[in-house]
Amino acid sequence: MAIRIAVVGIGKIARDQHLPAIAGSGDFILAATVSRSGADVGVPGFADLVGLAASGVAVDAVALCGPPVGRHVLAAEALRHGWHVLLEKPPGATISELAVLPAQAAAAGRTLFATWHSRFAAGVAPAAAWLAGRQLRRVAVTWQEDIRRWHPGQDWLLAPGGLGVFDPGINALSILTAILPGPLAMREARLLVPADRQGPIAASVAMAAGAALVTLDLDFRITGDQIWSIVVETDSGTLRLDAGGERLAIDGAGQAVAAAAEYPALYARFAELIAAGASEFDVRPLQLVGDAFLIGSRQVVPAFTW
């Protein structure tokens, strides 16, 4: 039987990816939405989870697609209602608030899935396989995009808890933590914060992966070519991921990978976890962002307007 799912927070990512992925999935059926602004997508809609729970509309799972602040409260509430929970990335706004969720999901016998959509990009699994057993020499991440083009009007991104440029940057960290053979340690960060905002609009970060230097160049102000690339130099060749992990090259030669299907693959994984009675909850990318905020120097840059 299809898993009846409610999507909570009908914004850009819900409309662009979650609703189409659910519509195309044989595993899920959209049962309801929860929208504070009353978005109507043709299924029963509710203002909050309490209203959904009281409605009698049968739901097995929820996908939490709003901003990170408040996500953990919704997740805890959804688990109390006995629903499986899919968390958009990042799984929450702080690391400490997340500590309680896995035990709560286990006690409820429900699946908790902290998703990292970029890990489902087509080049990521083959990149991890190629890197296994190789010695890292140097890793360089460039994640440069235009905030006005991809996140129009999303003031929450540059507000406390919104992560600023680490909102896309955490996708690179989710890939690195999946493909690099060992752990990452934060060393230095420089955060550029607009005078009228709280979150960084650009950042440069240095980390260590064993003896190898890992650098991140994150910038939300780039209006030309949009770059989401990771270059990994090893003792036996150089790997390059482009387009956020969708394209893979080894020593300059493009590799054949599957067609792009991040969100369909993500929902297939959610169904697999539910069927297995398992959870998947990896907070390492958010820990690294937390570390960058802990150690980062801050430089004020001109105010940001949309």
Which is nearest to 267 in space by CA: 27, 77, 67, 73? Answer: 27
Binding track, positions 64-93, relative to ligand NAP; x by CB under 6 A:
-xxxx-------------------xx----
> Catalytic annotation on 12?
no
Q: Angle at Cα 228 formed by Cα 222 and Cα 231, nearest 5°? A: 125
C-alpha to C-alpha distance for 65 and 35, rounded to whole angstroms: 10
C-alpha to C-alpha distance for 166 and 155, rounded to whole angstroms: 14
Q: Please name the residues in contact with 42: beta carbons below 8 A apart, sequence gap of 6 or more.
A: none
Subset of residues 99 to 138 that bind ligand NAP, contact rule: CB under 6 A: 117
Amino acid (one-letter) located at 136: L
Pick from 13, 61, 239, 289 the residue near ligand NAP by CB under 6 A: 13
Q: Are 134 and 234 in contact (CB under 8 A)?
A: yes
Annotated catalytic residue, options 72, 84, 89, 117: 89
DSSP H helices in 81-225: 101-108, 124-131, 147-150, 166-179
Residue 59 sits in the site that holds ligand NAP (CB under 6 A)? no
What is the nearest approach in angstroms of ligand NAP to the Cβ of residue 246?
14
Subset of residues 169 to 208 that bind ligand NAP, contact rule: CB under 6 A: none
The one segment of 12-20, 119-127, 188-196, 202-210 that binds ligand NAP by CB under 6 A? 12-20
Longest dimension (CA), the chain: 59
Output b/e per residue, 272-293; b: 16+ Cβ within 10 A.
ebbeeeebeeebebbbbbbbbb
Pick from 10, 74, 79, 230 the residue near ligand NAP by CB under 6 A: 10
What is the nearest approach in angstroms of ligand NAP to the Cβ of residue 213?
27
Residue 35 sits in the site that holds ligand NAP (CB under 6 A)? yes
Pick from 57, 128, 150, 217 the residue near ligand NAP by CB under 6 A: 150
Nearer to ligand NAP, 37 or 305 (CB): 37
Residues at the contact surface with ligand NAP, assessed by CB under 6 A:
9-14, 35-37, 39, 65-68, 88-89, 117, 150-151, 154, 156, 167
Q: Which residues are catalytic?
A: 89
